[in-house]
Structure formats: structure tokens, C-alpha cells
Structure 1
Amino acid sequence: MRLSIDVHLDYAFPEPADVLLQIEAAALPDQRIESESLVIYSDNPIRAVAGEEGIGQRCWARADQRLMADYRAVITVERPVVNLAQLAPTPVRLLPPETVGYLLPSRYCESDRFEHFVRRQFAGLSGGALAVALIDWVRGALEYSSAATQLRGGALTTFAERRGVCRDYAHLLVALARAAEIPARCVAVYAPGVDPPDFHAAAELWLAGAWHLVDATGMANSADMVRVAVGRDATDIAFMTIFGTAFLFAQTVVVRRLDAQS
């Protein structure tokens, strides 16, 4: 799958502020960057730093009155489709050390508050079969609602309200998976077919020795998502973190499928 990505950001700043951008696709074995360019319109120096887990890249910028950025890329995704339901469970004591942190609660994924619910609701399931059941439950239980962006809560709020946007779906799935002793992390992705078109949040679950991308909203599939960043929750994967105050002028994210390579 070949995808084109076109991002435009335009923000106003009443006072100078530092800004941490995270909008570049990550270079990974299952997603090859054919071409890309990032242009940040600023009179101040730009500094790149590595993202969480060494995946992707963040970019520090200094905003003074106005900050504009344009990112364009063509990415080839070569990621096989895996039947999660057939994957065996891994006892937590045998997990690799780099996954253990993704078993623990975080600010927006309060997994410790869901342990009783998971044990009761999904009794008798384990491994990939449990993961699929969790994904199906989240997809069926929630209503996608842009109005829910104003809630700005974590998985517990989403669980109570039964509605949310992509980050809320991701938070709830990640929290439930961690409560089920499956390492899980949030992932910022680009994906075609997202409605409304925007930066998108998905999840990755650790099963049978590998991370597996899943989108609980059902709008994207693992074969055509492009990872930007990974982390414990939305705090780590935000496309823009502003150390000050900003106002939106314009923001567009366009992801298109290109013709398959011959």
C-alpha cells in the first residue's frame, strides 16, 4: 500500500512559546519513506529529537506571533495482516523488559480501575482471542462523537460516557488490554478514510512476541496505517505540544491511497 500524506498547520501565538511538533512519519521496517519534506516557517532555529522508544522524531520550534508548518510524504506500507485471534498468550513474567511499562496505568489509561470488569466480562479468554474480544467490545460499546473532544478525560470518562473520538477509543482499548495483562500502547498514525480527516490515534497490542496495530474505531486497518509515534497515552503522541497559548488559524490532514506499485 502506497500512501501520500499532506499536512498543513497554521497557528497564532499571543506571546512567544516553545512548540514540540510530532508530525513526521516514522521510518520503520514495515513502512518505507519514499519521499518527505517538512517545512517550518520560523525565524528561530529548529531542533530534532528522537521520539518515544526511538520511534519517529519530534521537532522543537520557537513560535513568535505565528507558526506554520507543511509536511508532505509518500510512504509504502508493507505490513502483513495477522489473525489476532490465533495468537497465544504470553505470561507477564515472560514478557520482554521493554513491554513491562505498557502493562501499567498511565494518566489517560487507568487500567487498574478496569481489572474487575475485564475478569468478569471476558472470563475464559486469553491471548489473541481476548484481544479481539476487547477490540470488538470497545467498537460496539462506543459512539463516535466529535462533541466528546470537549470531555478531555481518560479511559474512565470514555467508559462512563460511552462516546468519544479516536483518542478515546484508543485510551479505552489500551486500558482494558493492560487490565487483561496484555501490554498496550497508544499510537499516532496517518490513515486514509478517517472521517473527519485528521491526525488519528490507534493502539498497539503485544501478542506472540510482536506489536500489532489495531484501530478500535474501525475506520482504518493495520495494512494501511502509518505510524508517527508511540507512547503510554495521548500525552506522548500529541502532534503538537504547546508550552504557552496558541490559537488555530488553519489545519488540514489529507491522506490518500496511491496506485499499487507494479
Structure 2
Amino acid sequence: MTVKISVRLLFELSEPTDTMLQFEAAAIPEQQILSTETRLGKVEHCARVPAQDDIGERLMLRLTGKQAVDYDAIVKVDRELPELTTLAALKPHELPGEAIQYLLDSRYCLADKFRSFVDTEFGQFEGGAQIAAMRDWIEEHFTYAPGSSTGETTALDTFIERRGVCRDYAHVMVTLARAAGIPARYCSVYAPGVEPPDFHAVAEVFLADADGGGGTWQLVDATGMADSHETVKIGVGRDAADVSFMTTFGMADLTYQTVSVTT
């Protein structure tokens, strides 16, 4: 599947400010970057640094004044997608080292608080079947409500309110999976069909390969909006704090943002 991406950001900084951006599609085996162009305004400093788990890159910039960022890309997605419910879970001692951190609590995903709920609600399932049951439960019980959460909203807050946006759905999905002992991470993506059009967030869970040869990360979208066959990864992290498209080490005012993703 070929996906076309176009992004425009306008923001203003009143004084020289270090700024970290992560919005470019990651160059990884499951997605081929056919064309890409990033256009920046005047910057005092620009460097590319590897992002979390070496999936994608971050732009480390020093900026001041009014800034415009434009990004266009065409990406071919070729991702293996086994039937989720057929995949087994791996025991913690069977996991590769890089997956173990995704069993642990993080800023927005406090899995320890959900262990009894997960045991009661999903204890009859295992592995991918358990993940699918969690995904379906979230989609059924939560309302997608733009503007209903903030940058401080945790998975527990969303669970209580039963509403949120893709960021919140992903946090709850990650949290429930970790509470079940399945590594899960937050994944920032582009996906056609997202309403309203925006940067999108899904979960990724680590399960056994279909052939039993090891482990594999599988995309899980509890909002039901993204098709994994045409989802383009930007980056991954423990939760949204690790994969924000814009992090400023000072004050900034985002005045305009538009995202278009089509096939």
C-alpha cells in the first residue's frame, strides 16, 4: 500500500529555544520511503538524532521567532500481519532485552493499578486473543471525544472518564497489555481515514511469532480508525511523552497545524 503524507506546522517562539521535532515517517524494513522532503525556516542549529528503539529520527533545533515546517512524503507499506488472535504470549524470561522496559509503568501508563481488573475481565484469554479482547472492550466502552483530555491525562483518568482521543485510547491499550504481562509501547503514526485528520496514536504489543521462532511487534488500534496495512510509523516510546511531534525546552505557541494522509 502506498501512502501520501503532507504536514504543515506554524509556531512562534519569543526567544531562542531548543526544540525537538519528530514527525517524519521512519525508514524501517516494513515501510519504504519512496520520496521525502522536509522544509524548515531559518534555524540556529539543526541536528538529526536517533529516536527511541532506533525507529525514526528526531530533529534537534534551536529556533526563534515565527517558524514554518513543511513535510511531504510518499511511503510504501509492506507489513506482515498474522492473525492477532493466533499469536501466543511470551513469558518475561523469554523476552529480548529491548522489550522488557515495555512491561513497566511509565508516566501515563500505570499498569500496576489495572492488574485485578485485567485478571477479572480478560483472564480467560491468552496472548493475542487477550489483546484482541482488550482492544474490542475499549472500542465498545469508550467514546472518541476531541477536546476531552489534556497533556496531563493518564490512562487511569481516561479509564474513569470513558472518553478521549487516540492518544488516550493508546494509553489505555498499552496499560491493559502491560497489566497482563505483555510488553506494549505507544506508537505515533500516520493513517488514512483518521477523523479529524491528525497525527494518530496506536499501541504495539510484543507477541510470539506465528512460526514460534521468536517475537514480533504487532499494531493494535483501539479506536478502530487505522488499518495496519496502510499505517505509517513515525516513532515509538513508553507513552506519548516519548513520541511527541513537538517538544520545546521553553515557551512556544503552536498557531497552525494540518495533516493530510491519503492512499
Interval containing the TM-score (normalised by the shorter chain): over 0.9
Displacement, 1:141? Answer: 1.4
Letter in 2 for 1:186: Y
Displacement, 1:68? Answer: 1.2
Letter in 1 for 2:244: A
Counterpart in the other structure of 1:86 = 86
| 2:241 counterpart of 1:235 | yes
Counterpart in the other structure of 2:211 = none
Contact 1:42–1:68, Cα closer than 8 Å, also in 2: no
| 2:255 counterpart of 1:246 | no
Counterpart in the other structure of 1:55 = 55
* Larger CA deviation: 146-155 vs 206-215: 146-155
Counterpart in the other structure of 1:260 = none
Structure 2: gaps of 5 or more residues: 209-214
2: CA distance, partners of 1:84 / 1:189: 19
The list of structure 1 runs, each at least 4 consecutive aligned residues, that deviate by more than 6 angstroms after superposition, is none
Across the aligned residues of Structure 1 and Structure 2, the Cα RMSD in angstroms comes to 1.0
Aligned length: 257
Displacement, 1:248? Answer: 2.2
Displacement, 1:151? Answer: 6.7
Displacement, 1:81? Answer: 2.9
Counterpart in the other structure of 1:69 = 69
Q: Deviations over 1:184-240 (max 9, x none)?
A: 000000011110001111110001110001111000011111000000000001000
Letter in 2 for 1:119: D
Q: Deviations over 1:64-111 (max 9, x none)?
A: 111211111000001133211011221122111111100000000011
2: CA distance, partners of 1:65 / 1:149: 29
Q: SS where residue 169 of structure 1 aligns?
A: helix
Displacement, 1:124? Answer: 1.9
2: CA distance, partners of 1:164 / 1:3: 27
Q: SS where residue 148 of structure 1 aligns?
A: coil
